[in-house]
């Protein structure tokens, strides 16, 4: 009987840091320092990518690119990306420990999955140095996957490329990609899962794609909350997600459904 062998989670916005605010706030700050005001939506759009790639993706956005040209009289270059990243990295590292609280439902869900015999892996857009802080702090608060992989392990090639997932599969000793589930909170996560040939799942509540803090989310009126959830789900499906879950607590039930689909001969990304 075919069964899911492993689940690979993203970190910020998926398992810790509700709303994925640690990096977003720093992106706003470093661009403002350069005299370029960016919006929260622009800062979030490339979320999930390696952070230097994220900065480059922001600079390539038409509005930001035009503002940059107007201010500096030229297009951005590789040195500009490096300079922005040099500002970004220490600011993020200094603040990371504050953004490592597990998202509600994560610790219990991971316990259920692990007790069912599955391995727990993880991928991220953070560097090894950043993850030393995140992993240690999350462990103290009750969340610890079996392994984590950063883009530094894959020659600085991060999402949406599939290589971090492949490294997880190797580290965890999983037999094949179609018996693996990837759960993330950004479009980059969804594409990473698709490109790796695993079941690609978007988690809605607490996600960067939703972009709300815990307080903002719980204070929404029911109709507004339902609309935000639906819009986030739609964006994941548009990117090609196999499934979405509102919260991590729905994941064990979804895995049971995936097990049944696999035994009917279904495979990921078959739509």
Active-site annotation holds for 10: yes
Q: Of the candidates 156, 137, 136, 190, which has an alpha carbon nearest to the alpha carbon of residue 52? A: 156
Task: Assess if residue 268 is contained within a domain.
Answer: no
Residues 57, 157 share a domain: no
CATH number of the domain that residue 10 is part of? 3.40.50.1000
Same domain, 37 and 75: yes
Shared domain check, 251 and 168 = yes
pLDDT computed for residue 270 by the predictor: 59
Q: Is 185 annotated as a binding residue?
A: yes
- 127 and 251 part of one domain: yes
Domain holding 13, by residue range, is 6-20+101-263
Residue 265's Cβ-side half-sphere holds a number of Cα atoms within 13 Å equal to: 0
Residue with tokens 């989670």: 9
Statement to judge: residues 40 and 129 lie in one domain: no
Q: Partners of 181 in the beta sheet?
A: 7, 199
Q: Among the options 10, 17, 53, 189, which is catalytic?
A: 10
210: in domain: yes
Same domain, 238 and 217: yes
Does the residue 271 lie in any domain?
Answer: no
Q: Which residues pair with 184 in a beta bridge?
A: 202
- 269, part of any domain: no
- Residue finishing a domain among 80, 97, 114: 97
Structure tokens at 234: 């739609």
167 and 72 within one domain: no
Among candidate residues 17, 51, 179, 191, the one labeled active-site is 51
Q: Is residue 245 part of a domain?
A: yes
Distance, in Å, from the CA atom of 178 to the CA atom of 224, rounded to the nearest integer, reads: 36
Q: Check the annotation: does 10 bind a ligand.
A: yes
Together in a domain, 59 and 113: no
Q: Are residues 206 and 130 part of one domain?
A: yes
Statement to judge: residues 11 and 67 lie in one domain? no
User: What is the Cα–Cα distance from 147 to 91, expressed in whole angstroms?
Assistant: 26
Question: How far are the Cα atoms of 2, 59, 197, 266 from residue 263, in angstroms, in the given order?
Answer: 6, 46, 17, 7
Which residues are within 8 A (CB) of 41 and not within 5 positions of it... i.e. 6 or more apart? 211
CA–CA distance, 198 with 162 (Å, rounded to integer): 10
Say if CB 75 and CB 64 are below 8 A apart.
no
How many domains are contained in the chain?
2
Q: What is the pLDDT along the chain (271 residues), one digit of tens a residue?
A: 899 999 999 999 999 999 999 999 999 999 999 999 999 999 999 998 999 999 999 999 999 999 999 999 999 999 999 999 999 999 999 999 999 999 999 999 999 999 999 999 999 999 999 999 999 999 999 999 999 999 999 999 999 999 999 999 999 999 999 999 999 999 999 999 999 999 999 999 999 999 999 999 999 999 999 999 999 999 999 999 999 999 999 999 999 999 999 999 999 985 5
Find the DSSP H helices in the chain: 21-33, 40-44, 51-59, 62-72, 78-95, 106-115, 128-140, 163-172, 187-196, 214-218, 222-239, 251-263
Task: Say what angle helices 21-33 and 51-59 make with each other, to 10 degrees.
Answer: 50
- The CATH number of the domain where 79 resides is what? 1.10.150.240
Q: Of the candidates 72, 97, 122, which is a domain's last residue?
A: 97
Provide the 10 A C-beta neighbour count for residue 142.
13
pLDDT at 210: 96
Query: pTM for the complete prediction?
Result: 0.92
CA angle 246, 251, 252 (to 5 degrees): 145
Instruction: Give per-residue burial for 76-111: e unless 16+ CB within 10 Å, then b.
Output: beeebbeebbebbbebbbeebeebbbbbebbbebbe
- Note the pLDDT of residue 111: 98
Q: Are residues 125 and 82 both part of a single domain?
A: no
Residue 258 lies in a domain: yes
Q: In this structure, are 47 and 13 located in the same domain?
A: no
d(C-alpha 126, C-alpha 128), whole Å: 7
Domain boundary among 97, 114, 136: 97
51 catalytically annotated: yes
Nearest to 4, CA basis, from 267, 189, 270: 267
Within a domain: residue 270? no
């Amino acid at each position: 009987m075919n069964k899911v062998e492993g689940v690979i989670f993203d970190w910020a916005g998926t398992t810790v840091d509700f709303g994925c605010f640690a990096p977003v706030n720093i992106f706003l700050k470093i661009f403002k320092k350069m005299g370029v005001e960016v919006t929260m939506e622009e800062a979030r759009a490339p979320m999930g990518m390696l952070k230097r790639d994220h900065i480059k993706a922001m600079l390539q956005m038409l509005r930001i690119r035009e503002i940059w040209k107007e201010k500096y009289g030229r297009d951005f270059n590789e040195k500009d990306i490096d300079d922005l990243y040099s500002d970004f990295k220490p600011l993020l590292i200094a603040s990371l420990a504050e953004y490592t609280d597990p998202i509600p439902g994560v610790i219990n869900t991971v316990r259920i999955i692990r007790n069912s015999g599955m391995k727990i892996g993880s991928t991220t857009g953070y560097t090894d140095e950043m993850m030393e802080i995140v992993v240690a702090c999350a462990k103290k608060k009750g969340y610890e996957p079996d392994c984590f992989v950063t883009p530094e392990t894959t020659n600085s090639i991060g999402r949406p490329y599939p290589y971090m997932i492949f490294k997880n599969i190797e580290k965890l000793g999983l037999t094949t990609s179609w018996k693996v589930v990837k759960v993330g909170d950004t479009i980059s996560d969804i594409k990473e899962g698709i490109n790796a040939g695993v079941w690609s799942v978007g988690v809605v509540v607490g996600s960067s794609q939703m972009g709300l803090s815990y307080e903002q989310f719980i204070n929404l009126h029911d109709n507004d909350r339902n609309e935000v959830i639906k819009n986030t789900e739609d964006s994941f499906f548009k990117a090609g997600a196999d499934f979405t879950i509102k919260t991590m607590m729905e994941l064990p039930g979804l895995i049971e459904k995936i097990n049944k689909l696999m035994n009917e001969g279904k495979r990921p990304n078959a739509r």
